Amino acid sequence: MKIIIEESPDCSETEIAIRCKELTEGVIKIVSSLRALEQKILGTLEGKIHILSPEDIFYFESVDKKNFIYTDTEVYETSLRLYEVEEVLGDSEFFRATKSTVLNISKIKTISPKLGGRLDIELVNGEKMMVSRQYVTILKEKLDF
C-alpha cells in the first residue's frame, strides 16, 4: 500500500482520498480506522456502508468470528473486532460486558445483580443482556461506583 501526503496552502480542510481497484475488506478496515479517529463507526447493512455515531449504538456483539453492531432497529456488520472497539471507544461510554459483547452504558435501563457476581442488564429497548463477573469491575469504574 502506497501512502502519499500532499501539502497544499490552498487546502482548507484535510482530505483523504483512497484510490483502489475495488472496495475490499482491507479498504473498509482503513476507512473504519480513519472514521474511528472522529469517533464514527462503519457498519454494513444490505451491502451498503453506513456511518454510525456511537450514541446510536446499543452494543457490539461477536458471533462466529463475525462482528455486529446493534442499534435500536438495525443490525450492522462491522470489520472492527471487539478489542478494536474497546481501543476506539473504551474511553467513552462503552465497556466490555462479556467475552462476546461490548455495551453502551447510556443504553442501560436497569441493572439486577445476581448470585455469583454477574449482572443482568435490561436495555432501554427492552433487550436483555448480561455482564460477566470478570467485567463487573470495569463497569463499576465507569460508573464511579
Partner 1 sequence: MREKLMEFTLVFKTMASLFFSGGVIIYVVFGYMLGEREISFSLIVQIFFLSIVVTGFQYIFWNEGAKGKLSKITKIILQYVIFGVILFAMSQWFTWFSLEWGTITRMFALYNAIFLGAVFGFFMYFRILGMKFNRKVLHYRTKKNDKPQ
Q: Which residues bind partner 1 (CB under 8 A)?
A: 93, 105-106, 108, 110-119, 130, 132-134, 142-145
In the complex, least distance from residue 58 CB atom to partner 1, rounded to whole angstroms: 14
Nearer to partner 1, 27 or 105 (CB): 105
Q: Which has the closest alpha carbon to 142: 88, 100, 96?
A: 96
Nearer to partner 1, 31 or 118 (CB): 118
In the complex, least distance from residue 93 CB atom to partner 1, rounded to whole angstroms: 7
The per-type count for the chain, helices as H runs and strands as E runs, is 3, 10
Nearer to partner 1, 26 or 117 (CB): 117
**Cα atoms in the 13 Å half-sphere on the side-chain side of 56:** 15
In the complex, least distance from residue 143 CB atom to partner 1, rounded to whole angstroms: 4
Measure the CA dihedral 31/24/52/65, to 10°: -110
Nearer to partner 1, 24 or 39 (CB): 39
Long-range contacts of 139-143 (CB under 8 A, 24+ apart): 139/95, 139/97, 139/105, 142/93, 142/95, 142/105, 143/105
Number of C-beta neighbours around residue 40 at 10 A: 15
In the complex, least distance from residue 11 CB atom to partner 1, rounded to whole angstroms: 27
Question: Vertex 32, ends 12 and 135: CA angle to 5°?
Answer: 130
Nearer to partner 1, 96 or 118 (CB): 118
In the complex, least distance from residue 107 CB atom to partner 1, rounded to whole angstroms: 10
